[in-house]
Amino acid sequence: MNRRLWVVAYDITDDRKRAAVRRILSDHGKRVQYSVFECWLDDEGEDHVRYYGLCSKDVDGIQVDGPGTITTESDDFTF
């Protein structure tokens, strides 16, 4: 089972749907912006959400300007 850091971003106008997505992602990842989460996930699943996988080279190149930290695999969020 491969785990990879995923950046999950969404743009949902309906308040109820947006709240539902936020609740789900909050259980499985770290909120880093209003509609952006970082999640360490297995490379399995068929959800209808757009995911952008980051290889370890890309993760090592992430820069954070301002407060906040990069989500680590030890945060252990899974779907």
- pLDDT (0 to 100) of residue 20: 93
Q: Per the structure block, which two tokens stand in for 14?
A: 């309906």
pTM of the model: 0.55
How much is the pLDDT for 79? 46
CATH dotted code for 3-58? 3.30.70.240
Mean pLDDT of 12-23: 92
Residue-wise pLDDT for 30-78, tens only, equals 999 999 999 887 766 654 555 667 787 887 887 776 677 777 766 655 5
More confident residue, 15 or 42: 15
Task: Compute the distance between CA of residue 77 and CA of residue 13 in angstroms, rounded to an integer.
Answer: 26
Nearest 10 degrees: Cα torsion 14, 31, 7, 66: 120
Q: Where are the domains of the chain?
A: 3-58
